[in-house]
Structure 1
Amino acid sequence: MEYEHTCMIRGDGGRTIRAILDRICNKWTLLIVATLDGGTLRFTELQQQIPGISQRMLTLTLRNLERDGLVSRTVFAEVPPRVEYALTPTGRSLIPPALTLANWAITNVPAIEASRAAYEQR
């Protein structure tokens, strides 16, 4: 299997892959990436376009995405300071697989819900 092969090559038992997937698959990352796919945004604009995200969670998630090279942060020397966030090429490369996964979920919702219902009836 491809996954097993990759983990054996890396020699870390899948730790690196799990860490990256943990970052990408958290509650807010894909929403932030999808929002930034529309273009560069300021912090407040991002927060307004992502319902339910707190200022603290947006800050933490953006820092992690910047650290991982998915988002760039540009500070402009103005008063008050202006900070803009944009996807990097690596961040942009996440869009196609994320859309594929979202489409898979949409396609398989009926089967998953039927399976859940059957499981609950046991």
Structure 2
Amino acid sequence: MDDHEPGYITVADICAGAGSIRAALETVGGPWPMAVLTALRPGPCRYGELKQVVEGINDRMLSQTLHRFLRDGLVTTAPVTPGASRRQYLLTDLGGEVVAALGVFIEEVVRLAPQVAAARARFAESALASNTNADSA
């Protein structure tokens, strides 16, 4: 993305290599990763606390998500108290930057949601009209 103006994204930026948007979305894309990162934004959480805060997430998905975050440097672990064996998860500086960027993205998606809903309704109406016209022909 360095070869062109800021904010301009190419197909190569999306698809190519470890630094691509595609690679990033493999880590943070989807509702569960976004929810877990958002749950960690206020501060450290133990596994069980994350499970309660992120309603509906199962153990396998939470474990996989946390593993990816640890691997990619978005999250680290620390003892709950010094010398304790119980661990808590917390955002790294990189994870904090990702959460901030996701926040901007989510705000924009929420802002545009009514327009998307209206487009879906128009599409459904035109599909229904097309089916009705095809049935009467």
Is 1:94 the counterpart of 2:93 in the alignment? no
Amino acid at match of 1:14: A
Distance 2:21 2:109 in 1: 21
Q: In the alignment, what sits opposite 2:9?
A: 3
Moved more, 82-91 or 25-34: 25-34
Give the 3-state SS of the residue equivalent to 2:22 in structure 1: helix
Q: Which 5+ residue runs of structure 2 have no aligned equivalent?
A: 127-137
2:70 to 62, 66, 69: 66
CA gap 1:102/1:14 in 2 versus in 1, 3 angstroms? same
Q: In the alignment, what sits opposite 1:19?
A: 23
Q: In the alignment, what sits opposite 2:43?
A: 39
Q: In the alignment, what sits opposite 1:103?
A: 107
CA gap 1:102/1:13 in 2 versus in 1, 3 angstroms? closer
Amino acid at match of 1:23: T
Residue 6 of structure 1: how far off its partner (Å):
6.7
Identify which of structures 1 and 2 has the higher relative contact order when contacts are C-alpha pairs closer than 8 Å and 6+ apart. 1
Larger radius of gyration: 2
Q: In the alignment, what sits opposite 1:54?
A: 58
Give the 3-state SS of the residue equivalent to 1:52 in structure 2: coil
TM-score, normalising length from structure 2? 0.75
Spell out the pairing of 1:72-87 with structure 2 (5 A cutoff). Answer: 72-75=76-79, 77-78=83-84, 81-87=85-91
- Cα RMSD for the two superposed structures: 2.1
User: Which structure is higher in strand share?
Assistant: 1
Give the 3-state SS of the residue equivalent to 1:58 in structure 2: helix
> Is contact 2:15-2:22 (8 Å) kept?
no
Q: Which 5+ residue runs of structure 1 have no aligned equivalent?
A: none
Deviations, residues 57-90 of structure 1 (Å, cap 9, x unaligned): 1111100000000000225654xx3011000000
Distance 1:96 1:118 in 2: 34
